[in-house]
């Protein structure tokens, strides 16, 4: 009898143009006021990829061959004096695939990719009430570098915008 692996195969790869519909679906399915500052997407939906959101900036997570999450790694600005920094501008994992290390794997590849691109810092913004994401980032070496108190009013509650970063 062939040996069965208990660990599902997790693969992280760069996105392709053909991932557009799947990633758009992941984005819609994972929307929540815990992390989103934009209102819940409504049809007709904006395209997932455009001139500023290109497949090359996305890491895709596949579990047993199925796309279950993504991370967007981008330049914080187009300024030459800011080119040594990369920023995580989106991270989402489908609910049914959570708690299995998918986001941690995406983050680790993002750190490697930041290094490979010659940048020296990786930053991100997270809502103050997003405890799962904050715990994940802290456990991967990110520290809080600034807080905009009560920056957003979401679902009737004021929520902090928390800036985190780490060297790579
Ligand atoms: C946050 C999110 C990406 C985590 O994805 P995930 O694949 O389930 O995360 P992992 O399995 O890699 O978990 C890694 C660590 O994150 C933390 N974590 C994840 N889910 C958690 C939860 N529900 N409660 C507390 N900590 C949690 C833990 O530290 C965990 O480590 P552990 O398993 O050793 O305890 C996922 O919950 C998600 O897509 N949330 C909605 C979108 C979002 O908030 N994105 C971040 C925007 S800044």
**Does residue 157 sit within a domain?**
no
Torsion sign over Cα 54, 57, 63, 65: positive
CA of 97 to the centre of ligand 1 (A): 10
Q: Quick one: pLDDT at residue 35?
A: 94
Low-confidence ranges of the chain (pLDDT < 70): 1-8
Residue 101: give its domain's CATH number: 3.40.630.30
Q: Quick one: pLDDT at residue 2?
A: 46
Q: Write the residue with the smallest CA distance to atom 4 of ligand 1.
A: 103
Domain count, the chain: 1
Range of 109's domain?
10-118
Return the structure tokens found at 82: 């800011």
**Does residue 89 sit within a domain?**
yes
CA of 158 to the centre of ligand 1 (A): 22
Which of 28, 116, 23 is closest to 72 using CA atoms? 23
Q: What is the pLDDT of residues 37-59, one digit of tens each?
A: 999 999 999 999 999 999 999 99
Category of 150 on φ-ψ map: left (φ > 0), alpha (ψ -120 to 50) or beta: left
**Does residue 150 sit within a domain?**
no
**Does residue 147 sit within a domain?**
no
Q: Quick one: pLDDT at residue 91?
A: 98
Give the DSSP letter of residue 18.
G
């Amino acid at each position: 009898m062939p040996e069965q692996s208990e660990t599902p195969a997790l693969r992280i790869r760069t996105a392709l143009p053909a991932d557009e519909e799947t990633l758009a679906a992941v984005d819609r399915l994972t929307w929540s006021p815990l992390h989103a500052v934009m209102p819940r997407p409504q049809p007709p939906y904006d395209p997932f990829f455009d001139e500023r959101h290109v497949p090359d900036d996305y890491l895709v997570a596949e579990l047993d061959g199925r796309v279950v999450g993504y991370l967007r790694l981008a330049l914080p600005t187009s300024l030459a004096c800011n080119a040594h920094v990369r920023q995580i501008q989106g991270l989402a994992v489908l609910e049914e695939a959570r708690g299995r290390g998918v986001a941690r794997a995406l983050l680790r590849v993002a750190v490697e990719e930041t290094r490979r691109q010659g940048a020296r810092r990786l930053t991100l913004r997270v809502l103050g009430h997003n405890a799962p994401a904050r715990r994940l980032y802290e456990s991967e070496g990110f520290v809080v570098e600034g807080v905009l108190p009560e920056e957003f009013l979401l679902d009737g509650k004021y929520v902090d915008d928390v800036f985190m970063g780490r060297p790579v």
